[in-house]
Structure 1
Amino acid sequence: MYKNEFDNLLNQNKTFSAYMFYGQSTFLIDYYTNLVANRLGSPDEIEKMYFDDFDFKYAKDKLLQSSLFASNNILIIKLEKKLNKKEVTTLIEACNTNPDSKVIFACMDDSEFKTMGGYFTQKLNAVSVRMFSPFPNEAIRLIENHAKQLNMKYEMSALNNLYFMHRQDLSLCMNDLKKLAILDETITPDLVYKHCFGIGAVNFEDFLHNLISSQDISLDLETLLEEGINEIYLLNQVTSFVQQLFMISSYIRVYGSANAKEILGFVPPKNVWEKKSRLAMNIKPEKFSEIIDYLLGIELELKSSKISNQNLYLQACLRKISVLIR
């Protein structure tokens, strides 16, 4: 099941005996794990078992026995490696045997857990939800919802700036919101820049702009990869950036001016949007298809070929983009 389907069930107050969250977005996995757990019971009724602390026998016994001090018995199990089918189904069945119990699996991987997701069936009153990285408009809505929960006053441009400052890392954004909430004043872009600091030595938005505008990105590219950014993630961000430029270019050519809300679904910081719009119009329309095909070809090579050093391979490939744009 995908997130949107699960959201509909949540809105209908549908509950299950067992839940499994997995996929690309560790933030959403944690977010929905905590959201569901807190809907099912109070903090005192929730127990957590993380990674190496997992003990199958203890988990089974806990789920089969009701708590003497609480009406709900909720167990969160966070995993990096999948469990076998027998263990998973035994724990789910324990929750069906004891209706006071619920188990939530937070699985920190995508491909590792695809098979395990199939064990969560309607017959067992269990659900598995695959979490993909949120689109920017969805991510900013999550930031805004959290700001409202903290009773913060804010300008939307400030939340946008915070999101882009942290290279779209929602965990860092949420942590900074808690820090900003202490100020007890309307959060503006200036306050964000004053009190928050983007990760890494390289501004990611500037890096993408410089790459597509054929500027020298060698040092920044090396720095990003040395900081540990994943090669596939970096490539996907470049592809997404080019796709945005194509949408902006197409919209302007049809309507004469760009509308960020209609094109992207959200409004970026003014300086980011103006730079992106200018760059989009500087690229010939026929070049977009060529660049995107090139980037998708690199991704296919990285995922399907045995490239000994993906880091160096990606650096070499990205440096060739300037040749395509000329």
Structure 2
Amino acid sequence: MYKKEFDGLLRAKKEFCAYMFFGQSDYLIEKYANLVANSVAAGEDIEKIYFDDFDFKYAKDKLLQSSLFASKNVLLIKLAKKLNKNETTQLIEACNTNPDSTVIFACMGDGDFKTMGSYFSNKNNSVSVRMFTPYPSEAIQILESEAKSLGLRYEVSALNHLFFMHRNDLNLSVNDLKKLAILNEESISSKLVEIHCFGIGSVSLEDFLFNLMNGQLVKRDLHFLLEEGMNEINLLTQIAAFVHQLFMISSYSRTIGTPNAREILGYVPPQNIWEKKTQLAIKIKPELFLELFNFLNDLELDLKSSKIPDHNAYIQASLRKFSDKLR
């Protein structure tokens, strides 16, 4: 199931003996794994096993045995690769055998966990939840919630700036919020973010997107982005999201009037970034947007379904063609 449906079950206090969280957002995976664990048991009754420390026999024995000192026995297992069907189903069954036990899997990274997720069902009182990358407006709301929980006063534009600085990485953004909380400043501003926080990588993704959509040569920056570890599909997702924002701004300005950031995006980005986006969006002809979307969809399909030997070289060549359309 997806996050929205699971949120409804959480509100209804529906409990399972086994949980699995996987998908695109490591932040949400870890957040929900810990949220469920803490709702089931006190902190000292939760045992966490991370990655290479996982031992199937130990985990099974632990789940089958009730604790002498606590009413609940929770095992939170963080994985980087899927477990096979036999191990997964045995751990779920151990929790059904011993109702005092709960197992929670936090499946991190780009591994293919879909097959493992199919072993969780209502029949064995378990659930798998797939987490997608939050839309920027949803991510900013998450950052606002985190800031409030830390007792921070903040400017929304500062949270936007922090989020984009970290290439839409919630984990890094939340970690920096915790660092900013130590400063004990009256309010978190964009200037404070600039002084104390540092974005990942030597190339700004935001600058790359603006340059690409302005039809400029981006070969060097594209090379560095991919060299620094950005996944080709993730990069395409970022480009498509940026084009979609520009399309919404363009449509709004042509049908209603002066673009309103909160109505269009659901949040207010830093003023200088918003001005650059509106100027760029208005410059692109409406009929070109459809051509750009089709190009990106076809490119993503090629990367996901074709036997392309070198994804890196292919996306670089393709984005040169994409850039040509904007000149």
TM-score, normalising length: structure 2? 0.96
Deviations 1:196-244 (A, max 9, x none): 0111111211110110111221221111111111111111111111111
Partner of 2:247: 246
Deviation string for 1:91-146 (max 9, x for gaps)?
11221222221100111256622122121111222111001111111111111111
How many Å separate the matches in 2 of 1:301 and 1:61? Answer: 46
In the alignment, does 2:235 pair up with 1:234?
A: yes
Identity %: 64
Tell me the residue number matched to 1:154.
154
Aligned to 2:196: 195
How far apart, in 2, do the equivalents of 1:49 and 1:91 lie? 14
Which residue matches 1:178? 178
Q: CA RMSD for the aligned pairs?
A: 1.4
**SS in structure 1 of the partner of residue 217 of structure 2:** coil
Q: Which structure 1 residue ranges, 5 or more long, are not aligned? A: none
Aligned to 1:287: 288
Contact persistence 1:207–1:220 (CA under 8 A): yes
Could you tell me how far apart the structure 2 residues matched to 1:109 and 1:150 are?
Answer: 27
Distance apart, 1:314 and its partner CA? 1.0
Q: Secondary structure at the match of 1:320?
A: helix
Q: What are the superposed Cα offsets for residues 61-100 of structure 1, whole Å, 9 maximum, x if unpaired?
A: 1111111222221001122222232322221122122222
Equivalence for 1:318: 319
Q: Is the Cα contact below 8 Å between 2:18 and 2:126 reproduced in 1?
A: yes
> One-letter code of the match for 1:203?
S
Equivalent residues in 2 for 1:244-283, closer than 5 Å: 244-283=245-284
Question: 1:170: Cα distance to partner?
Answer: 0.7
| Aligned position for 1:73 | 73
SS at match of 1:112: coil
Would the aligned equivalents of 2:63 and 2:98 in 1 still touch at CA under 8 Å? yes
Q: How many residue pairs align between the two structures?
A: 326
Query: For 1:17-36, what per-residue CA distance to the aligned partner results, in whole angstroms no more than 9, with x for missing partners?
Result: 11000111122111111111
Cα distance in structure 2, aligned partners of 1:214 and 1:78: 43
State the one-letter code of the partner of 2:214.
S
Partners of 2:244 and 2:143 lie apart in 1 by 24
Residues in 2 aligned to 1:189 and 1:12: alpha-carbon distance in whole angstroms? 39
Quote how far apart the aligned CAs of 1:191 are.
0.7
Tell me what 1:167 maps to: 167
Correspondence 1:1-326 to 2 at 5 A: 1-109=1-109, 112-185=112-185, 186-326=187-327
SS at 1:315's partner residue? Answer: helix
Q: AA paired with 1:153?
A: R
CA distance in 1, matches of 2:121, 2:252: 44
Q: Please give the alpha-carbon distance, in whole angstroms, between the structure 2 residues aligned to 1:263 and 1:111.
A: 34
**Deviation sequence 1:160-198 (CA, Å, 0-9, x none):** 111111110111101101100011121111111111011
Which shifted more, 28-37 or 82-91?
82-91
One-letter amino acid of the structure 2 residue matched with residue 129 of structure 1: V
Name whichever of 38-47 and 164-173 sits farther off. 38-47
Asked whether the 8 Å contact 1:19–1:127 carries over to 2, the reply is yes
* Distance in 1 of aligned mates of 2:200 and 2:45: 36
Query: Does 316-325 or 159-168 show the bigger shift?
Result: 316-325
Asked if 1 retains the 8 angstrom alpha-carbon contact of 2:217 and 2:323, the reply is no
SS at match of 1:191: helix
Is contact 1:22–1:110 with CA below 8 Å preserved after alignment? no
TM-score (norm 1): 0.96
| Alpha-carbon separation, structure 2, partners of 1:40 and 1:138 | 27
Q: Distance in 2 between matches of 1:110 and 1:307?
A: 19
Amino acid of the residue matched to residue 313 of structure 2? Answer: L
Unaligned 5+ runs, structure 2: none
What secondary structure does 1:199 align onto?
coil
**Distance verdict in 2 for CA 1:256–1:250, change over 3 Å:** same
What amino acid is aligned across from residue 278 of structure 2 in structure 1? Answer: S
Paired amino acid for 1:42? A
